[in-house]
Amino acid sequence: MTMVAIFSGAGISTDSGIPDYRGPDGMWTRDPEAERLVTYGPYMADPEIRRRSWRMRLDGPVLHARPNAAHHAVAAFEKSGHALRVITQNVDGLHQAAGVPERKVLELHGSARAVVCTACHARSSAAEALERVAAGEADPPCLECGGILKTATVMFGQNLDPQVLGQAMSIAKATEVFIAVGTSLQVQPAASLAGIAAEHGARLIIVNAEPTPYDPIADEIVREPIGTALPALLERLR
């Protein structure tokens, strides 16, 4: 049985109403200042940055988003009995919401659906924290120790979890087909997974609207919209 790895970036979730970051209409493209709201140093040092960051998450689309056709196609591919692993740069949890088992999804950048205390490391639901924000706590502290809370995501300025990255590299080395979908393949070290997969003999397929640095080594490049292109590609791989 062919092992398939899907490496997904922000582009797979734009049809769910979550804007990407660096595309023509991306979050950072439209508002470069917004990047500070998810950068660890400013977030920890400045209560005003934290207040704005919580407000951005409260008003944002992530927790209300639903899986789209691309997410459902990935889940259907897994359910049909194929050997599949999903490595995602996204923090929206939409692969799992579509039905891909938790154990088959590696979240390189963590999850926006949970929050963690930066002092005592207690973990709890993001929905609960955002209910506190909506009720008037502009910068809700940890209920366990009073420490600074943040979403359980890897912010700019933080390192990826080495264990999660190690698992992702092992998958990239072992897979026979590596599909990079909706990712610019520019953020390292995550982007290097495409190169690692190709070096170890995987067929590299890139599904992305814009060119990526790994296009020259790809076996196939698809520029069609992800919502139709990925379901068609996975149907072909069956």
3-state helix, strand and coil shares in percent for the chain, rounded to the nearest 5: 45, 20, 35
Which strand (E) or helix (H) includes residue 79? Answer: helix 69-79
**The one catalytic residue among 71, 72, 95, 109:** 109
DSSP 176: S
d(CA 231, CA 234): 5
Determine the residue type at 147: G
Chain center to CA of 221: 21
Quote the strand ranges of 44-190, DSSP E: 83-88, 105-107, 110-117, 123-125, 149-153, 177-181
Residue owning tokens 């929905």: 127
What token pair was written down for 179? Answer: 């599909």
Could you give the CA distance from residue 87 to residue 119 in angstroms, rounded to a whole number? 28
Decide if 1 contacts 82 (C-beta within 8 A): yes
Sequential DSSP letters for 135-175 = TT-SSPBPTTT--BEEEEE--BTSPPPHHHHHHHHHHHHH-
109 in catalytic set: yes
Q: Which residues contact 112 (CB under 8 A, 6 or more apart)?
A: 57, 62, 63, 91, 92, 93, 126, 151, 152, 153
Q: Which residues are catalytic?
A: 109
